[in-house]
Structure 1
Amino acid sequence: MTSFRSSRSRFAALAYVTCGALALLGADGAAAEPQGEAAIRAVLSGGAEAEGRAQPGCVFGAFEKGRMVRLVAQGEADLSAHRALDADTLFYGASLSKQFTALAAATLVVQGKLALEDDVRRYLPELPAYARPVSVGMLMHHTSGIRDFLALLRLAGMEDVGKASRAQALDLLFRQQDTAFTPGSAYSYSNGGYLLLAEIVARVSGQSFADYANAAIFRPAGMPNAYFLDNANPVAGTFAHGYLPEGEHFVARDTFPRFSGSGGLMLSMADLAAWEREVAHGGSVWTPEVAEILLTPGRLADGQVLDDGKGLAYGGGLHIGRKGGERIVTHGGSAQAFKHAYMRLPDRGQSFALLCNRGDWKASATLEKALDAAAVRRPGMPEMPASGTYHSQELNADYTLAREGKGLAVTIASPLVESPRVLHFASQDDGAFHAGSMRLARTRDPARLTLSRGHSGELVLLRGDERKTR
């Protein structure tokens, strides 16, 4: 840790060279920011950069085929010391930790020391014998019914869960005489399940969970700063404090548990850069066998692929599925004063991450704004069809499309109306444009669109003279 942190300036310079983010010199010798960076920086500053007051912020990273192509850091890690955020700043990772907890378990599965089908009481005999056994896979996929230990701590009267120990959290879970629902019958996101999964990793490996993760994941993957908390505070001066606004100022709120499993990961954008290289190019950690475990959707006991409630499935610490036909791998991280978002788009070979140390922002919304500022089409969002007139033979109507921001202004004309009608279609992440219950979508043929309303089925629109030849 110390040797790398002392060379942080060298890594930052290398990162900027790698991602092409070095400032370019203009004709007058003044430094000019890379194209689009000012817009991203404005997003990460919340529009308050011009006010000149110190505030927390975010680090944004973009990756293509495992290579960092953009790095933008805005704000301070420590408002008292005026320490700026950068590529090496450690953040409390919150639920971004879960993919690495699942990864640790997956490495033991590949080694034959653990199986997803195993009854968890084989490793955790302290748990009561529930009416239906809980498997290791159920913990990983949030289908176990194990209660959330953060909720239990608060129900037990603890206001600041950051003061809880691992032993206290585990004791509460071991006291539960029943699960929240029949194991395997439903999906319900649970921090309790991932705390138990980390405990299983520790007992099977014979090491502390933090030590095993370091030896099996972080060190071989070349992640320079990352580590899991192990009932101790992070080293002062090495990490970003979390902040919340209070009146005209920000106050520090480092109210996170000091143990790991569901959370507890301390990581930087430099760590994510190393991890993206590992995922893109393969290595000793991200093997095909491990990838299959993490990227296979969990199933309920009846065989149905689980739904996370947002149209995606859940694998090993990752939400996985498709948006608008495009594959997506994603997860967020949220503590009282830390908000993070991570998204991988395998079909494009792109990944994006946002690490923030202010709790008054929603990370997913901030990441969307940053992608818009970087002129990156968000997953599932439709590509803009060519402007012009499209005809439906079945409706005997013309649809004239004109771009309107990120949406479409559509003028509908037919013998059934005296004057054309104009509708405004907004883009949505199902790959289509919507105006009320009407849906307009591109096809692989650029001259062909589909149109539907409710459950009426799809109609075809052909552009211009194309309809005369079809």
Structure 2
Amino acid sequence: MSTYLTSQQEKEIDSIFHRWQSGLCPGGQVLVRRKGEVIYDKSFGYANLEHQIPVGENTVFHVASVSKQVTVLSLLLLAEEGKVRLTDDIRDYAPELILFREPVTLYDLMHNISGIRDQWELLMMRGVRIDDTITMEDLKRMISMQTILNFEPGSEYLYSNSNFTLIAHVVEKVSGLSLREFAAQRIFAPLGMDHTCIKTAYTQVIPGRAYSYDDDGEGTFTYHPINYSAYGATSLHTTVHDLMKLLENYKNPTICRKETVEKMMERPVLADGSRSIYGGGLMLGEYEGHPFLEHGGVDAAYRAHTIRFYDPEDDLDIAIVSNTQNTIPGVAARQIARVVLGLEEEKPQHQQYLLEQMPQQEETGVYWAEEPSLACFTVCRDQEGQLHLGGENGTPLHPVEGNCCRIGYLEDVIYLGKEKAACQMGANLYPLVKVDTAPQDTDFLREYEGAYQSDEVDTRYFITEEEGFLYASHTRHGQGRLYPLGRDRYGVQIGGLTLRLTFTRGSGNRVTGLVMDGGRVRHLGFTREEM
């Protein structure tokens, strides 16, 4: 069977990236290889809008979390030489960074089963803004302040960028080289990845680098910089052609042993008996019965995704990088796979949330999700009757069918209603519950008022009552309204975070503190101080 695309298949793939083909706009690179033959190779849009520099074959992109597989591969190359063992405790290499009691192995770190809280979410809880200047020392200091884990190591999978900061630390300590130097010598140069490097300082000049631009959906683009000097979990800069060489090494290993690739594809067994979806710096699963390994990346407006369908009958590799957020590469990669592998058109999902008509007066309000991670969606209607997500100046919602609306220009949808509600964002479905937004008894709410201090993030939040509502405030994040979720439980959006606050009580039923939970940080304790 021919591996080449028909003209119709090529047009179908082109259409997936139509938002990168509208004049002076950001874009990306797309490379598809089938059974060793490149069948689609195109660049779209502009790397720099100010100077009108188009994206070319050698334009370099920040690929965010796609970096993690390089960090893990670096660790495993040291393991091949017997310089580290995956059963080693992280304390053996970074005792100064560890306060929690439980042993955490290098294996736990590379598989995201360590239970260590996520560094970015911790920093934001502390009051750091994501566009602040952030260094590796800031991240390590944040990790070193944690006395409690999210869960017992090995028992659960929960994505945490802290794991890969610690792996980078181990590679550097054991090898005597920076991660940038080690990966260049042991991975990039041998594979011929001539346009790839790890950026270790936000001031570093990367020749041919694409700039990052947010798209408002109305034809306006704004520059979205990255100001951190962090690596291990992120900061790989590369092209789709170089990424394809990395994917080829998983098929035909040349810089490592076959067993090393197998270790990266190993899925740990968790406490409930299930296998994790995360291998060693790679996610593993099946799409319509076709097994794959993949990883995506999201930072600023940069987006990236690599996926390899490794069954010999498929033998399909896809690499997508972009400098704007208006196309989701992970979704696009699956759409490409459908075209190339001749899969049937995807059936509509989540019909259980679809109602024949939009519920009258029920669609607006605040919706809360607990799974797959915490999320909060505010839906309102403007004076002209247009529904918006996130306030009157937020993203417009476009009716699709019944109570289903498309979110802005994306493929994401939300199902609105008091009894049945959900939001489909990318591959994630968030079942929603509509929360009560009516004022509450002021005397009752004043029981919660006070300042709340946490040593693990070295910060303070203030809880105040105003006209029947509770608010959380922070000196750097401003104020966010609390929404009741149950007895002593509230949800809040503040500083770019969606958080659940559970207030704790002591003698005399007096409020003594609160426990803060985020998507990747659990049971972070705060002690109440009288105002």
Contact 1:78 1:241 in 2 (8 A): yes
| Of 209, 212, 235, the match for 2:182 | 212
Q: Quote the RMSD (CA, aligned, Å).
A: 2.5
Contact 1:328 1:346 in 2 (8 A): yes
Shift of 1:407: 6.4
Runs of 4 or more off by more than 4 Å in structure 1?
405-408
| Of 82, 88, 102, the match for 1:132 | 102
Shift of 1:20: 8.0
Could you say which residue in structure 1 is the equivalent of 2:291? Answer: 327
| Of 299, 304, 319, the match for 1:340 | 304
Could you say which residue in structure 1 is the equivalent of 2:143? Answer: 173
Measure the CA separation in 2 of the matches of 1:34 and 1:276. 26
One-letter amino acid matched to 1:377 = L
Could you say which residue in structure 1 is the equivalent of 2:192? Answer: 222
The 3-state SS of whatever aligns with 2:154 is: coil
Q: Are residues 1:41 and 2:11 paired?
A: no
Shift of 1:261: 0.6
Contact 1:66 1:273 in 2 (8 A): no
Q: TM-score, normalising length from structure 1?
A: 0.68
| Of 69, 73, 89, the match for 1:99 | 69
1:402-458 Cα deviation digits (max 9, x unpaired): xxx6669xxxxxxxxxxxxxxxxxxxxxxxxxxxxxxxxxxxxxxxxxxxxxxxxxx
Measure the CA separation in 1 of the matches of 2:144 and 2:35. 43
One-letter amino acid matched to 1:149 = Q
Could you say which residue in structure 2 is the equivalent of 1:123? Answer: 93
Gaps of 5+ in 2: 349-531
Measure the CA separation in 1 of the matches of 2:238 and 2:132. 18
Q: Are residues 1:191 and 2:161 paired?
A: yes
Q: Could you say if the C-alpha distance between residues 42 and 261 of structure 1 is closer, same or farther in structure 2, counting changes exceeding 3 Å?
A: same
Could you say which residue in structure 2 is the equivalent of 1:386? Answer: none
1:70-121 Cα deviation digits (max 9, x unpaired): 2011111111121111221111111101111111111111111111110100
1:29-84 Cα deviation digits (max 9, x unpaired): xxxx96643443332132x73xx530011211111244433201111111112111
Q: Are residues 1:351 and 2:317 paired?
A: yes
Measure the CA separation in 2 of the matches of 1:161 and 1:195. 19
Q: Are residues 1:263 and 2:234 paired?
A: yes
Identity across the alignment (%): 27
- Give the structure, 1 or 2, with the largest relative contact order (CA under 8 Å, sep 6 or more): 1
1:337-394 Cα deviation digits (max 9, x unpaired): 011221101111111111111123322223334445xx2237xx56xxxxxxxxxxxx
Measure the CA separation in 2 of the matches of 1:66 and 1:263. 28
Q: Are residues 1:278 and 2:242 paired?
A: no
Measure the CA separation in 1 of the matches of 2:132 and 2:194. 26
Shift of 1:237: 5.1
The 3-state SS of whatever aligns with 2:26 is: coil
| Of 79, 99, 123, the match for 1:109 | 79
| Equivalences, count | 343
Contact 2:99 2:146 in 1 (8 A): no
Could you say which residue in structure 1 is the equivalent of 2:39? Answer: 69
Q: Are residues 1:317 and 2:281 paired?
A: yes
The farther-off stretch of 157-166 and 98-107 is 157-166
Point out the structure with the larger strand share: 2
Q: Could you say if the C-alpha distance between residues 277 and 366 of structure 1 is closer, same or farther in structure 2, counting changes exceeding 3 Å?
A: closer
Q: Are residues 1:83 and 2:56 paired?
A: no
Q: Could you say if the C-alpha distance between residues 281 and 236 of structure 1 is closer, same or farther in structure 2, counting changes exceeding 3 Å?
A: closer
One-letter amino acid matched to 1:159 = R
One-letter amino acid matched to 1:320 = L
> Between Structure 1 and Structure 2, whose CA radius of gyration is higher?
1
Gaps of 5+ in 1: 1-18, 22-32, 308-312, 383-404, 409-470
Contact 1:57 1:356 in 2 (8 A): yes
1:104-158 Cα deviation digits (max 9, x unpaired): 1111111111111101000001133433211111111111111111112212222
1:204-234 Cα deviation digits (max 9, x unpaired): 1111111111111111111111111112434
Point out the structure with the larger helix share: 1
